[in-house]
Amino acid sequence: MNKTLIMALCVLVSSSVFSKDRLEVYEDYDIGTELMMMTTVKVDPNMGDIYLAGLQSSWVKAVKIQKELGFIKDWKIYGSDLPTSGDFNMLLVVSFENAEDLEPNKAKYQKFMEKWSESDEKMSNEISAKYPEVRTLTGEYRMREIILK
Domain spans in the chain, listed from the N-terminal domain onward: 30-148
What's the pLDDT score for residue 73?
98
pLDDT, position 84:
85
pLDDT at residue 4 greater than cutoff 90? no
pLDDT in tens, 81-103: 998 889 999 999 999 999 999 99
Q: Residue 14: what pLDDT?
A: 57
Distance CA 32, CA 51 (A): 32
Q: Residue 123 — pLDDT band, cuts 50, 70, 90?
A: very high
pLDDT at 41: 98
User: Which one is predicted more confidently, 39 or 14?
Assistant: 39
pLDDT in tens, 11-34: 655 555 556 799 999 999 999 999
CATH architecture of 30-148: 2-Layer Sandwich (3.30)
